[in-house]
Amino acid sequence: MGVLQGRVAIVTGAGRGIGRAIAHKLAREGASVIVSDLDADPATATVAEITAQGFEASEFVGDVTTPGFAEVLIQTTLDRYGDIDIIVNNAGYIWNSTIQKHSDDQWQAMIDVHATAPFRILRAASHYFREAAKKDTLAGRVHCRKVVNISSVSGIFGAATQLAYSAGKAALVGITKTLAKEWGRYNITVNCVAFGFIETRLTQPYDVVPEKIDVKGQQLAVGLPEANMQHMRNSIPLGRAGTPEDAAGAVYLLCIPESDYISGQVLVCGGGLTG
């Protein structure tokens, strides 16, 4: 039995990359996982992979930036599993350009997905969390619930061409630190993992074949020039980019009972990168 046996976890953006690795990690350790993703096919595939290994997961498809999404996500989780123990706010993407090319739509899109969506999800969960904490107290139970928000070193140190992205990720750090103060009385820890250079489809080199993602019908180029990527690798003390599994491991540390007295913290998962 894993250390998260009996726990229920929500992971947004769990169909691909880091989110997929997080969903797999939590499920392997015993959690029942809601695999939330914008796209049905990768969400279904992730759930199929997890259940084929004998673990529990189910999908929830939708756009985290849509008003009303958060309330339906929370209620669906409660209807399926009866509890919520872990929320990982991971969904997001990058849309880079220098400030003179930053449009209002670009700015708002980054704020919406990286700050507003997590805010709405946590606000929707707050009603259940408060009542669950009261029931735990009356029953004499000590039950620690967990929130892990996914930020970036760009939100801490800044990054050229990532003004809106950095602003959204910095906002998520503020959300983390504020809710850690508000929710401590409910025995909820709220922490943040700031990723450095993790190899996913969003950070692959685009010099040869540019990768594009579909966001609300708009095709957005993602990735980085190979020269930039090599520079980043050279600046990492461990000498390599991280893998999605490395990233999942950092999130896992903040979901297990051993971290029950850690809250309001930002853990940089960047191979020693310090800015």
Q: What is the pLDDT of residue 90?
A: 98
On whether the 8-200+243-267 domain is CATH 3.40.630.10, my answer is: no
Sequence-ordered list of residues with C-beta below 8 angstroms from that of 223, at least 6 positions apart, any chain: 201, 202, 203, 204, 205, 206, 210, 211
The one-letter code for the residue type at 103 is S
End-to-end CA distance of the chain: 39
d(CA 60, CA 151): 22
The tens place of each residue's pLDDT in the chain, 275 residues long, gives 799 999 999 999 999 999 999 999 999 999 999 999 999 999 999 999 999 999 999 999 999 999 999 999 999 999 999 999 999 999 999 888 899 999 999 999 999 999 999 999 999 999 999 999 999 999 999 999 999 999 999 999 998 889 999 999 999 999 999 999 999 999 999 999 999 989 876 666 655 555 666 666 666 666 666 666 667 778 899 988 899 999 999 999 999 999 999 999 999 999 998 87
d(CA 208, CA 215): 22
252 included as an active-site residue: no
Token output for 220: 């957005």
Largest CA distance in the chain: 61
- Which of 93, 128, 165, 206 is flagged as catalytic? 165
Token output for 265: 């913290």
Instruction: Encode pLDDT of 65-120 as tens digits.
Output: 999 999 999 999 999 999 999 999 999 998 888 999 999 999 999 999 999 999 99
d(CA 29, CA 4): 5
Sequence-ordered list of residues with C-beta below 8 angstroms from that of 34, at least 6 positions apart, any chain: 8, 9, 10, 11, 57, 58, 59, 60, 73, 76, 77, 80, 81
d(CA 193, CA 246): 12
